Chain A
Amino acid sequence: MSNTHLELSQVSIDFPTPSGPFRALNKVNLKIDQGEFVSLIGHSGCGKSTVLNIVAGLHQATEGGILLDGREVNEPGPERAVVFQNHSLLPWLTTYQNVELAVKQVFRGQKSRREMREWIEYNLDLVHMTHALDKRPDEISGGMKQRVGIARALAMQPKVLLMDEPFGALDALTRAHLQDSLMEIQAQLGNTVIMITHDVDEAVLLSDRIVMMTNGPAATIGEVLDVNLSRPRNRIALADDTDYNHLRSQVLTFLYEKQRKVEPINPKKANEQQKKAEVA
């Protein structure tokens, strides 16, 4: 209790819609410790992004609230940096300038010009992007953009790093590569992270805890799974690990048996999900 870093307490949100308020989240409670890596997993549309946006301060909870180090937060700020799903780099700025914008904003008056420069380069080095400092976002690949987005968030030296499906739009190989990078960085910096994902393997591989959400409307936390696999983790070694596979099947059971999506909104997406389930 004493080392609770971030607390979501009784968080509910109603979205105004033409047919009255729509309760997307209902009484979400979660405590996260300093340095913990938490994944949020759940079916599409259940409200994962909404949770993250409330923590980020981009949405306001209708009831309940967020405590960060015992203080309530209800507006956005760089101490809760966000990595968005589609990188959201400013297309008219280079890699370096994108990170610079954040660093200048956060460390104005604290770091000298030279220190800022070193800090920007340090963070881009963490994500292995120093080779493309002067490239614009449309000149680098999707994976690289996502790396720069992560560097920008890390450079804000956030208390909590929020990631909304950071690797969702990437191919499997690039995704694996970035997951490894992220584990490396996490081992080095010990950030507190909340990451949304659709990918069961990603959740088990990266997290200390997996938070599984029930389907909406009025979604809430269904189960929380502790992942006690030792670090550093190696995806190849883990593939045959019984603990790993057990955890994996627990998540899959939750998603595809307990919270099975009854009526697919989008037949194409439903097909994909079915395929995924079959493969699993």
Chain B
Amino acid sequence: MSAALATLNRINPARWTVTVWRDLALKLTFPALGLALFLGFWHLGAQQINTSLGTFPGPAEVYSQWTNLVDEHRQEKAREAEFYQRQQERNAQRLAADPNAEVRWRDFNGRPTFFSQIRTSLWTVMAGFGLATVIAIPAGIIIGLNQNVYRAVNPIIQVFKPVSPLAWLPLVTLVVSAVYVSDDPMFSRSFLVSMITVTLCSLWPTLINTTVGVNSVSKDLLNVSQVLRLNWFTHVRRIIIPSAIPMMFTGLRLSLGIAWMVLIAAEMLAQNPGLGKFVWDEFQNGSSDSLGRICVAVLVIGFIGYLLDRAMLALQGWVNWDKTAVMR
């Protein structure tokens, strides 16, 4: 409530003293200055670089490619709506003529647009990161609680942690195609391959940080737990997990960052649907627009990564009991 009041006070213009204005000005001026400089250098630098596909696109060119991509998406959406409407009408007519007629409903089979690729990537990264979290947090707690389990798994963790996604990918692809055989698959294979690769690579920071967090619970609190004779479950729930939450979130943020980076690389290499494939297709396509479109993709990938991190930070602020923790 006090936070809400503080916000209200900040909004109330009557309280905007000189310091507040200056503070705001500083907060806005420097980021704006930085951005302007960046755009300027980009604009000038781009003109100097001649590639096989023409000069490197500057900010204006990239912006026009962005509007193109938005237009393409709109057109594709319109085509889809049209398709379904026609199908609906056709089937209705047929049924009207003969109520027993066999009607077919088909799915629209359009080209994936830039935005549908974004959606695929987001969904895949969330699924892969979610799976990694569901594995890493309980495993981290168990490893952190027991010194012998830690001794047993630590070497394995240390060896797998630095493995690049590109090395996992062929293995995951082969294993998924061998194991995941179903006539009516719930998920597509390419989705599973991307997702599992993301999981395998983003597991480690959460796992390791949770382990460390659990391991470094203050001795005093452990003594309290012992004096109270808390059972294992209560001990974990009331003492261990709250103590380890700050470390867990440090791990989760690192993991999510890795998950997003790995996903793009995996999609590119495996030609699995998503932003990575978009970039690869444009690269192969090699039209004069390609470079601009790849630049759009790069910026969007970065921006989404930033938003994911912010979302994680917001979640941390909401869950963490330690409101004094500095979050950057």
Query: Is A bound to B?
Result: yes
| Residues of A bordering B, CB below 8 Å | 56-58, 76-78, 80-82, 84, 86, 88, 90-92, 101-102, 105-106, 136, 138, 156
Contact with A along B218-239 (1 / 0, CB 8 A): 1011011011111000100011
Contacting pair B220 A105 (CB below 8 A): no
Residues of B within 8 A of A88 (CB): 218, 220-221, 223-224
Residues of A within 8 A of B283 (CB): none
Residue in contact with B228 in the complex, picked from A84, A101, A136, CB distance below 8 Å: A101
CB-defined A-B contacts under 8 Å, sample of 21: A57-B226, A58-B223, A58-B226, A58-B227, A76-B226, A77-B229, A78-B227, A78-B228, A81-B227, A82-B224, A84-B223, A88-B218, A88-B221, A88-B224, A90-B221, A90-B238, A90-B242, A105-B228, A105-B229, A105-B230, A156-B228
Q: Given the complex of chains A and B, what is the CA–CA distance between A100 and B218 in angstroms?
A: 20
Q: Which 8 A-B pairs have the closest CB atoms?
A: A92-B321, A88-B220, A76-B226, A92-B242, A105-B228, A76-B227, A82-B227, A88-B224
Q: Given the complex of chains A and B, what is the CA–CA distance between A157 and B220 in angstroms?
A: 20
Q: Given the complex of chains A and B, what is the CA–CA distance between A82 and B227 in angstroms?
A: 7
Interchain nearest-CB distance for B223 vs A (Å): 6
Q: Given the complex of chains A and B, what is the CA–CA distance between A56 and B324 in angstroms?
A: 34
Contact with A along B197-232 (1 / 0, CB 8 A): 000000000000000000000101101101111100
Residue pairs across A and B with CB atoms within 8 Å: the count is 50
Known: A78-B228, A105-B230. A84 touches B220 (CB 8 A): yes
Interchain nearest-CB distance for B221 vs A (Å): 6
Q: Given the complex of chains A and B, what is the CA–CA distance between A106 and B227 in angstroms?
A: 10
> For residue A80, which residue of chain B has the nearest CB?
B227
Interchain nearest-CB distance for A280 vs B (Å): 31
Residues of B within 8 A of A101 (CB): 228, 238
B281 at the A interface (CB under 8 A): no
Q: Given the complex of chains A and B, what is the CA–CA distance between A90 and B239 in angstroms?
A: 8
Q: For this complex, into which size category does the number of interface residues on chain B fall?
A: 10 to 19
Q: Given the complex of chains A and B, what is the CA–CA distance between A76 and B235 in angstroms?
A: 14
Q: Given the complex of chains A and B, what is the CA–CA distance between A78 and B239 in angstroms?
A: 17
| Residues of B bordering A, CB below 8 Å | 218, 220-221, 223-224, 226-230, 234, 238-239, 242, 321-322, 324
Interchain nearest-CB distance for B163 vs A (Å): 36
Contacting pair A91 B226 (CB below 8 A): no
Known: A88-B218, A92-B321. A77 touches B227 (CB 8 A): yes
Residues of B within 8 A of A76 (CB): 223, 226-227, 229
Contacting pair A78 B229 (CB below 8 A): yes
Residue in contact with A138 in the complex, picked from B224, B238, B324, CB distance below 8 Å: B324
Q: Which of B220, B227, B234, B239 has the most CB of A within 10 A?
A: B227
Q: Given the complex of chains A and B, what is the CA–CA distance between A206 and B180 in angstroms?
A: 74
> For residue B229, which residue of chain A has the nearest CB?
A77
Q: Given the complex of chains A and B, what is the CA–CA distance between A106 and B228 in angstroms?
A: 7
Residues of A within 8 A of B228 (CB): 78, 101-102, 105-106, 156
Residues of B within 8 A of A90 (CB): 221, 224, 238-239, 242
Residues of B within 8 A of A92 (CB): 242, 321-322
Q: Given the complex of chains A and B, what is the CA–CA distance between A101 and B228 in angstroms?
A: 9
Interchain nearest-CB distance for A209 vs B (Å): 24
Q: Given the complex of chains A and B, what is the CA–CA distance between A105 and B229 in angstroms?
A: 8
Q: Given the complex of chains A and B, what is the CA–CA distance between A81 and B223 in angstroms?
A: 11
Q: Given the complex of chains A and B, what is the CA–CA distance between A156 and B230 in angstroms?
A: 13
Residue in contact with B321 in the complex, picked from A58, A80, A91, CB distance below 8 Å: A91
Residues of B within 8 A of A156 (CB): 228
Residues of A within 8 A of B226 (CB): 57-58, 76
> For residue B238, which residue of chain A has the nearest CB?
A101
Interchain nearest-CB distance for B194 vs A (Å): 37
Interchain nearest-CB distance for B320 vs A (Å): 9
Residues of A within 8 A of B223 (CB): 56, 58, 76, 82, 84, 88
Residues of A within 8 A of B239 (CB): 90
Interchain nearest-CB distance for B15 vs A (Å): 25
Residues of A within 8 A of B224 (CB): 82, 84, 88, 90
